Structure 1
């Protein structure tokens, strides 16, 4: 009777956690009726569902963070470009100022009627030599003026182009900053929702008995799976070597957002395993779905990366014979499991 009441207490605790977690994940649709667990096994099943929802939120939050990191990088690049453009403007304007006095003198001379043409030289000369001297001087002055005007125009054009470039750089920097701020807000929201979901899952797990926790955790290897034999048969290579690395983490706990070396979430385990063999694999399951090359399900080989669910929110490493090693969900350590237990999406070879 006591055990019966204890199980009903576990179920009730998990029921409350389920309602809160579904509300934080699904929003308004959570108003729909939710069937409450009435047995310990049903409660375990519901906790797994809650953990699954938290795993989805975890990958979404990680993806948003990666997007923010990219936006911040773009913002820094845009800021650097703006600084460089501003420096170019300053240099171009300084060049304009260098020629400005000479241009001003030329304009004033023209405005006040200074006699600088050939006819004036003829009329004002008293001898052929004086005429030649005046004409030579006028030619030199004319050439100098023309050179100055050309240099001034070139400097002015460069300044205008630099100002236009700086304006474009400024617009791009402002846009990059705005985009980063938008994503930053999204990251904050997702992390808040994830934190609430995690709290509910941990509380629900804490309500389970030791026996029920062991039942949830299950066995690290399916019946008949021989890790030692598999390791001996693996051929050298990035994929199979990464699989070998992942197999050394069997029994390590699942922790949201963890990337090792002794605790992992699903994509964190894949990233860590391939890092051991020199592969810089992206952080999230959705990013990992675009890395490497696609592989059909019929052509899977040990070491291939297998992805699951329509939103690609879970990932593991194929271990051959329909098995994979993965960090499943909270309360379940890193283990080998059939890929058939999870809705298959696609596979990649790194």
Structure 2
């Protein structure tokens, strides 16, 4: 079974190179900008938009598709990591089971000569017993000596028979365990292969979608690009008063950490320290206050404890869309800190324009 581990690691390394290549290509193409999400691949841009509004909307639509694809690919990577770990564990268990089977067979081989001799003796009728001892003894003392020898030989043979039976039972159990472990290892390896293929398909789709976003971005005027990026903070936002009395290690202190990244670019698959996708920003902010948060928005949506929208407090984590493909950190007064999408840097923005899904308190 150990031979299966090497191809598994080789596939993983190849996949990580493919993933890194896709993200690097996207980063080079978009310069300092990026996006967070995953779904169907975006089509290549067609005819030039007729109006500036149409151009902006096309970019928004393509960016949304790329955002979905990004999160789906991140989920596929996490799934692959888990399945490769399971496959490695299954391989180790299969190897241990095979070693146990070999040890059990060695025990059988050790006891077999004794058992064969005992069986041969019984078959030929030459085994000494108490009756034959009585018949051939010439004196009471000789009878006692012979009976003691018979008892010793019988006890020793019986003990060896018992050990042989235990060894045989252990070998049977070990063979069953080894067969089951081998089947589990094979299934785990096949599952990892399937997820690996899915990941490669999603990464390829993401790369194509990113190219579509970049092309659409190139069709915008400088004014449209500036309008799309918007301001870093909404009017009247007071960061200092918001963070007064924050508790170290709390969601509020994670929000404070995240607010230091306002203005950093959005980049597909980025986790900081100076460029982010949506879930990467959340993970980075909570890591600064000692909390290890999962990587993807879907995984983050099951972390911590649920919070109703009406009970939101600054520092709570908020999720959007039915597929939970976007995430941010609540900043109070209906605002959130988030890494939005391509062409829009990390900023504080209203939540109302994005379909709310759920919230958690980490």
CA distance in 1, matches of 2:347, 2:302: 25
Provide runs of 4+ in structure 1 moved above 4 Å: none
Q: Are the aligned partners of 1:24 and 1:196 in contact in 2 as well (CA < 8 Å)?
A: no
Flag the structure with more relative contact order, 1 or 2, with Cα contacts below 8 A and sequence separation at least 6.
2
Greater percentage in helix: 1
The residue aligned with 1:103 is: 115
Equivalent residue for 2:80?
68
Moved more, 197-206 or 36-45: 36-45
Structure 1 residue 346 and structure 2 residue 358: aligned?
yes
- Corresponding position of 2:172: 160
Q: Give the match for residue 314 of structure 1.
A: 326
Which of 37, 41, 44 is matched with 1:25 structurally? 41
Cα shift at 1:312: 0.4
Counterpart among 230, 243, 251 of residue 263 in structure 2: 251
Tell me how far apart the structure 2 counterparts of residues 233 and 156 of structure 1 sit (CA, whole Å). Answer: 70
> Per-residue deviation at 1:64?
0.8
For residues 131-280 of structure 1, the aligned pairs below 5 Å read 131-232=143-244, 234-280=246-292
Please state how far the C-alpha of 1:125 moved relative to its aligned partner. 2.2
In the TM superposition, what is the alpha-carbon distance from 1:233 to its structure 2 partner? 5.3
Please report the TM-score for the alignment, with normalisation by the length of structure 1.
Answer: 0.88
Rounded Cα–Cα distance in structure 2 between residues aligned with 1:237 and 1:124: 91
Structure 2: segments with no counterpart, 5+ residues? 1-38
Give the distance between the partners of 1:178 and 1:339, measured in 2 at CA. Answer: 42
- Please give the secondary structure, in 2, of the residue aligned with 1:25: coil
Determine the C-alpha separation between the residues in 2 that align with 1:231 and 1:123. 104
Q: How many residues align?
A: 322
More moved, 188-197 vs 118-127: 118-127
CA contact (8 A) 1:238 1:279 kept: no
Alpha-carbon distance in 2 for matches of 1:237, 1:172:
41
Q: Which of these residues, 128, 141, 148, is aligned with residue 129 of structure 1?
A: 141
Equivalent-residue separation in structure 2 for 1:175 and 1:197 (angstroms): 33
Bigger Rg, structure 1 or 2: 1
Q: CA RMSD in A?
A: 1.8
The SS at the match of 1:116 is coil
| Structure 1 unaligned blocks of 5 or more | 1-22
Q: Structure 2-normalised TM-score?
A: 0.85
* Conserved? CA contact 2:55–2:219, under 8 Å: no
